[in-house]
Chain A
């Protein structure tokens, strides 16, 4: 889906847990998430911590949209 949307000219970032799959299907900008059932917030951690993680990783996704790349790129996250 990402590929088709990008093909149409939209700058797109994929936030995914299975980065190798995202790569194989042809995503160009990728940001890792923490799991399949809860990509952006582990329910066993406090709400505050979940929020921090989500806010941080969505921020990385925004940076990815702003970044010039020459090849498929996985953007690094800190939390």
Chain B
């Protein structure tokens, strides 16, 4: 039996109209509208597009919560195995809309979501970590090609075929790492020496662990008077209560913890230790304050140099942890910091 797919389009590609109709409220139609026909064709025997959702770009842009909620409502009683959005080419609002709805659908229904955008589309940076976004053309001239890329990958997912790296498949890397077996079977030691030799000789080489380029965040303002503020301690050095109650992983962590140090002058050995697998734990186990400097910060609190210390410190393990996971954990920690009324943070990294 064919699998079921649903496609999201904006008002333009949904054949409602142009810019003047960008406030068009979300609607769902049975069957195929516009690019849904090509998508349906490309999905072939594997899947069929059962419904097309259409929403004006400005509606999604300015009344996003309402739009997402309405669309999730449309989908609640539909059966579908995969969700497509776009292609959005270089249309910024459309790309962002595809990302917003794609992310919400993926979270709510647990299906994979595939889109396509041009690399200039701001939706790429915003959502490449959330959904699959294929590298698409600048304009609708690339429609057929972009739809085919989305459909081909969708078929692979639906049939359980082996998925290759982001680069090989043609989507923007989301910063997730997967272990892969190389067909060449050349061991890592030989590959790294080859790379090093190439580097020494000034030849081109391909890293196996690309680090996404960094983008800086605006500098937070200086806090002129610390004597009134609440300071939180955080670490990626894996300091936890000795029983590691939240089972934070020793490497490639996906979990973080917060632990109470109310009334403690220092983190005592025997009560706390490190579970970080990236270094010799002896020093930190003997004195956890070398990683989470509670003792020194308490001294500053007693002197009145700072207002107070947040009763909990935050901790995870930074080795092998992807930037994507780290960012997600940090966002979760941020919610907690806000709720606790923390003003500033000291993060120690190992």
Contact = CB atoms under 8 A, between A and B. Distances in A.
Interface residues of B, number: 56
8 contacts: A1-B234, A1-B333, A11-B222, A15-B349, A25-B214, A26-B214, A29-B219, A38-B283
A33 B127 CA distance: 35
Contacts of A2: 330, 347
B338 A8 contact: yes
Interface of B: 211, 214-224, 226, 234, 236-237, 278-284, 286-287, 289-291, 293, 295-297, 299-300, 305-306, 316, 323, 326-327, 329-331, 333-334, 337-338, 342-350
Nearest to B319: A36
Contacts of B327: 1, 3-4
A66 B343 CA distance: 12
Given A10-B342, A40-B290, A3 B348 contact: no
Interface string A1-36: 111111111111111111000101110110001001
Nearest to A37: B279
A54 B283 CA distance: 14
Given A4-B327, A12-B347, A66-B224, A36 B289 contact: no
Of the listed residues A9, A41, A54, A65, the one surrounded by the most CB atoms of chain B closer than 10 A to its CB is: A65
Interface in A52-71: 54-55, 57-59, 61-62, 65-71
By size class, the interface of chain A is 35 or more
A29 to B, nearest CB: 8
Contacts, number: 168
B317 to A, nearest CB: 12
Contacts of A68: 221-222
In terms of DSSP, what is the predominant structure of the interface of chain A? mixed
A43 interface: yes
B222 A17 contact: no
B278 A54 contact: no
B291 A18 contact: no
Given A1-B234, A4-B331, A54-B296, A62 B347 contact: no
A74 to B, nearest CB: 14
Contacts of B342: 10
A7 B217 contact: yes
B221 A62 contact: no
Given A13-B344, A29-B219, A40-B348, 5 more contacts: A15-B348, A36-B278, A38-B291, A51-B295, A69-B222
A12 B344 contact: yes
B283 A1 contact: no
Contact of B330 (A1, A37, A38): A1
Nearest to A70: B219
A64 to B, nearest CB: 9
A62 B300 CA distance: 9
A73 B243 CA distance: 37
B345 A12 contact: yes
A9 B337 CA distance: 11
Contacts of A33: 348
A46 to B, nearest CB: 13
